[in-house]
Amino acid sequence: MSDTRPVVRLRPKAEARAIRHGFPWVYADELVVDRRTKAIAPGTIAVLEDGERRPLGTVTVNPNSKIIARMMDRDPEAQIDRAWIAARLERALALRARLFEQPFYRLVHAEADGLPGVIIDRFGDAAVIQPNAAWSDVMLADLEAALVEVTGVSIVLKNGSGRARTLEGLPEETTLLRGTLDAPIQVPMNGATYMADLLGGQKTGLFYDQRPNHAFAARLAHGARVLDVFSHVGGFGLAALAAGAESALAVDGSAPALALAEQGAAAMGASERFTTRQGDAFDTLEALSGEGAQFDLVICDPPAFAPAKPALQAGLRAYDRIARMAAPLVAPGGYLVLCSCSHAADLQAFRSACTRGIGKAARSGQLLHTGYAGPDHPMQPQLAESGYLKALFYRLDG
């Protein structure tokens, strides 16, 4: 099998040990990139060799990406076809079926589930594929067919948007591949009801990764006045209402996202306790402070302020600022939840920025809990980037 495929080779001084020990990526400066390698079509399956021409495994190659090769299979003879994809999907499904009673979860979390660069979120009878690596664009028909075969879903969408595809040199495209969809899908989670717009919403329409953090926040929410900043479709706020919060105010810059949050609250019978406020989060926090507003539970779940290392320092300043502006809105003895989905900001740097911001607001307190993404977002242990989500739960003094 391998003799019909292109062969790509690590540079003589490149460290093959990391690859042998499970690291799944080869960067462009680690590979011999000659005219032949540059001519390989993005998404091509190849054999990776070390500097001494010993095979390391089967990879997919994209000369247009800084991640020029991604490990597909440790077997250099592996046949990457629909059956191979189906086997990976079956393994991923077995884990989710054990974890969740209902079919609403992230089914595939890229490298951690053995499908490099591929995200698949499931919404009952519908699934959204994010093919963020070139091979998955090339093999999209096989990926879709295997997905239907393994899960039985009848609606499949391709969400080809976002920074990851741009870095791969792939075009943006969101389209319905199979079935029909003319309305948002109701998603039950943590006792709340969310409305997911699979065609027009952010990413795949809903963020499953925060599920355990929504649940922990809900434990603090009974009888509380809740402020959910960067709320998207109501993630923390609706979970808090399901747990008996007195009220929840959702703040977001997106009117469509807030409209979906309102629909979710209505589906739960919680509309009378739910309000929204559209606008820039920083401006809204400043305005609420000027109004003398106080809440028992404040959550800030912003988009990635530090998506890559060049943005790290600016991102940490933004996390410091959000903590400094949110802390004064927390009533004495209340709770502040600060989240980061930035790959570049590790937990220690993020925690330091948040604690510093709280201190600048002349507040102090306890760090109660640190949360991460749910188990349907497993980590690839050798790939730190797969453990991106952090949530810090503080109880603030007077």
Instruction: For residue 239, give Cα distances in angstroms to 215, 338, 367.
Output: 7, 16, 21
Geometric angle at alpha carbon 253, from 264 and 163, rounded to 5°: 100
Characterize the bridge pairing of strands 104-109 and 185-189.
unpaired
Tell the burial category of 249 from Cβ atoms under 10 Å away from its Cβ (0-12, 13-18, 19+): buried
| CA 20/CA 74 separation, integer angstroms | 9
Dist CA 19 CA 16 (whole Å): 5
Residue type, 193: T
Which of 300, 339, 341, 354 is the catalytic position? 341
Contacts of 162 (CB under 8 A, 6+ apart): 130, 132, 172, 203
Q: Which residues contact 128 (CB under 8 A, 6 or more apart)?
A: 120, 121, 156, 157, 158, 159, 198, 204, 205
DSSP 71-94: EEES-TT---SHHHHHHHHHHHHH
Looking from the CA of 188 toward its CB, the CA atoms found within 13 Å total 6
Residue 53: how many CA atoms within 13 Å on its side-chain side?
A: 0
3-class SS of residue 165: helix
DSSP result, 252-272:
ES-HHHHHHHHHHHHHHT-GG
Active site residue 341: yes
CA dist 298 and 162 (Å) reads 28
Q: State the maximum Cα–Cα separation within the chain, in Å, rounded to a whole number.
A: 71
Active site residues: 341
